Amino acid sequence: RLGLLKMDFLGLRNLSVIEDCVGLLRAKDIACDIDHVALDDEATYRMLRAADTDGVFQLEGGGMRQLIQMLQPDRFEDLMALVALYRPGLLSMGQHTEYAERKHGRKPVVYPHASLEDILKDTYGIIVYQEQVMQIAVRVGGYSMGQADLLRKAMGKKIRELLVPHRETFVKGAVERGYQERLAQDIFDLIVPFADYGFNASHACAYAYVAYQTAYLKAHYPVEYFSALLTSVKDDKDKKPFYLNAARLRAIRVLPPDVNQSQMHFTPSDGEVRYGLAAVRNVGAGVVHSIVAARTEKGQFESLTDFCRKVDAGVLHKKCMESLILAGAFDSLGYARRALLENYEKIATPVLADRRAEAVGQFSFFGGEDGPSIDIDESVLRGEEFARPELLRLEKEMLGQYVTDHPLLSIKGRLDALVDLPISEVPGLGDGDVVTVAGIVGSLGRRFTKRGEPYAVFRLEDLTGGVGVVVFPSLFDKSGPLIATDRIVLVKGRADLRGRELQLVALEVSEPDLTPSGPGYSENGGPTGPGAVSDPLVVDVPTSSCTDGLITRLKVLFRMYPGDLPVIVRLVNDGEAMSLRLGEGYRVDGCPALMSELTTLLGSNAVRIPAGLPVASTSSAPA
């Protein structure tokens, strides 16, 4: 033995998010001692109970959100339990559901044996942590603490076979201590699933604490938190669009970069998030430092001419300027991007030439030593803007994402009704699973097999993320014309995990029918039947959950799915309800996608379209 100490260090992106968020708050003279925040903050738990957990450490993902809605956490110990329950062993036994049912009194709290009540009382009679297993082994099986630690290590290996020798020891010891053999076998059966990855309480506590800190910051300082969160995934082609969409769902606008407002990375800006200049293609850190230093020392840029005079000459090279223009960094100065792209050199070139002349000691022919060197007529910068699709395409080329707008936003409801899940949930598929997704074709490559047959590999992107898709020759022959950059397509594919990352092998590629159809819709896509206009969408909201954050999310969802159905919100409290009919601006289309989003947010029984409900009997609320 060498007597060396082996240490494993876990690098955690979320710790940088917390630190960066606190730094952004400090820059605004807002004090936040995140290491000493109260662990019973009601606003934080309200947000968590609403399953608004995008960007919250360990609590993201569809399955976890469903568990959160069942469990409705209201104390720190619940967060510990969430982290520990959502693991293969306990999930396979259904203990996560059992825990939630017992917590809310829907099922009685029972113990494997009365002698275990003090060990399992805090977890409603359910074995959740490895420490509880060790305590049970000592009390029931007659283990010493050293032997119990060997049992813990066997569980930590995640190999069930390692627990087999312990069964005989445990049962024998239990019988010797007066327990029935059948009971001892049953108790050990509750221990076995921990070999499929059970958490220890100290680990769960540490994870839950970081989860709580991220949730606290998101609940109280959402703009600063999303700024830090987006900075942390600035180079992640999957996570960045996911969190951009999460910000949209919270009604937080993410603005394109701006030469007068942007810093290096994402920053808060008057209640919105501003893209950083470093995110622009062909714009390096040195250029950003130069721009920020120039406006700090010489004042805000008032025009392109002013910009060209103030910044370092190295900023004005062709690639850098064109990238800034196409990313929208000069929009606030009043220029159309197309006109500026076509004519900016008519301003930059003479200004740059004059600056170079001054640098070698010459005086401008047009001006004296003081004041501007030359007079510039910016009328040459007037002109037309790009068509909207082209503007967005070029913006995405510079930023890697659609920012000002997204081609899928206006058709999100129709598209969601055609798919099985958003692309952000594709990584959770098993090898061979078949799924239907939709999105816009991003990067596209056409290749050839060894036999010279053409096939395609492309990236499919929706509002939440992207996934690689392979279209082999037989399907490519039929669907080739549909597969083009910026084309919106529907893909039915099989998950393939054999490569370095998951991809979909396309089984079908088609153009989605974005016209609403099916029961309740007419041939032209409009709603018909009893639920067409008179029957409203009814949404039940418990008054205990009616927070500003939840109301904002509901407003955003209603506006994302415009239609003809009126909306009635019922504020429910102890069996009594007050109904509010929302204003005309919040009529919705009642499509499956909206119903799914609302169900995820509020629960399966909280959303419905009851035929024949008298709309006029409700109170009116313009919202």
Q: Which residue has the tokens 């909207």?
A: 388
Torsion of CA 482, 484, 487, 493, to 10 degrees: 60
The pLDDT of residue 497: 85
Of 564 and 227, more confident: 227
Return the higher-pLDDT residue of 330 and 602.
Answer: 330
The pLDDT of residue 610: 66
- Over residues 419-443, the mean pLDDT reads 89
User: Is 395 within 8 Å of 256 (Cβ atoms)?
Assistant: yes
How far, in Å, are 68, 222, 317, 385 from residue 399 at the CA level?
Answer: 35, 23, 19, 19
Band of pLDDT at residue 5, cut at 50, 70 and 90: confident
Q: Which CATH number fits domain 253-399: 1.10.150, 2.60.120, 3.40.50, 1.10.357?
A: 1.10.150
Q: Which two tokens stand for residue 330?
A: 């000069």
pLDDT bin (cut points 50, 70, 90) of residue 37 is very high
pLDDT of 78 strictly over 90: yes
Q: What is the pLDDT of residue 553?
A: 76
At 35, the pLDDT band (50, 70, 90 cuts) reads very high
Check residue 47 and give its pLDDT: 92
Share of the chain above pLDDT 70, in %: 89
The answer, yes or no, to whether residue 566 has pLDDT greater than 80, is: yes
Q: Which of 484, 519, 503, 482 is nearest to 437 (CA)?
A: 503
pLDDT (average), residues 378-388: 88
| Other residues' Cβ atoms within 10 Å of the Cβ of residue 452 | 7
**pLDDT band at residue 535, thresholds of 50, 70 and 90?**
low
Whether residue 76 has pLDDT greater than 60:
yes
Q: Is it the case that residue 262 has pLDDT exceeding 50?
A: yes
Phi-psi region of 81 (alpha: psi -120 to 50; beta: other; left: phi over 0): alpha
pLDDT at 616 over 70: no
pTM above 0.85, yes or no: no
Decide if pLDDT at 530 tops 60: no
Least confident of 171-175, 228-232, 518-522: 518-522
CB-based contacts of 325, cutoff 8 Å, min separation 6: 337, 340, 341, 344
State the Cα–Cα distance between residues 413 and 516, nearest whole angstrom: 9
User: Quick one: pLDDT at residue 235?
Assistant: 84
Q: 472: pLDDT confidence band, cut at 50, 70 and 90?
A: very high
Domain range list for the chain? 13-203, 253-399, 409-510, 537-621
Query: Could you tell me where the DSSP H helices lie in 130-238?
Result: 130-139, 145-156, 164-176, 181-191, 201-220, 222-232
Longest dimension (CA), the chain: 106
The pLDDT of residue 576: 78
Q: Are strands 434-448 and 454-461 parallel, antiparallel or unpaired?
A: antiparallel
Predicted local distance difference test score (pLDDT) of residue 407: 86
Q: For tokens 């370092």, what's the residue?
A: 312
Per DSSP, which regions of 254-407 are E strands?
Answer: 254-255, 267-269, 272-274
Provide the Cα torsion 108, 113, 116, 122; round to 10°. -10
Q: What is the pLDDT confidence band of residue 506, given thresholds at 50, 70 and 90? A: very high
Q: How far is C-alpha 264 from the geometric centre of its chain's CA atoms?
A: 22
Q: What is the mean pLDDT of residues 36-46?
A: 94
Q: Cα-Cα-Cα-Cα dihedral of 241, 242, 247, 249, to 10°? A: 120
Average pLDDT over residues 355-374: 58
pLDDT, mean of residues 95-115: 92
Residues in CB range of 488: below 8 A, 6 or more apart: 407, 408, 411, 415, 438, 439, 440, 441, 511, 512
β pairing state of 503-510 and 488-496: antiparallel
Cα 237 to Cα 68, 459, 468, distances in angstroms: 28, 11, 12
Q: How far is CA 14 from the centre of its chain?
A: 13
Q: What is the mean pLDDT of residues 353-375?
A: 61
Q: What is the pLDDT of residue 516?
A: 54
Percent of the chain with pLDDT over 90: 44
pLDDT of residue 562: 81
Tens digits of per-residue pLDDT, 138-148? 999 999 999 88
**pLDDT on residue 362:** 55
pLDDT, residue 190, reads: 86
Residue 293 clears pLDDT 50, i.e. is over it: yes
φ, ψ at 273 (rounded to 5°): -105, 130
Residue 615 CA to residue 533 CA, distance in Å, equals 10
The mean of the pLDDT values for the chain is 85
What distance in Å separates the CA atoms of residue 298 and residue 314, rounded to the nearest whole number?
A: 17
Higher pLDDT, 74 or 163: 74
User: Comparing 166-175, 304-313, 501-510, 532-541, which segment has the lowest mean pLDDT?
Assistant: 532-541
Fold of 409-510: OB fold (Dihydrolipoamide Acetyltransferase, E2P) (2.40.50)
pLDDT band at residue 592, thresholds of 50, 70 and 90?
Answer: low
Does residue 454 register a pLDDT over 60?
yes
DSSP string of 87-104, one letter each residue: SHHHHHHTHHHHHHHHHT
- pLDDT, mean of residues 169-181: 92
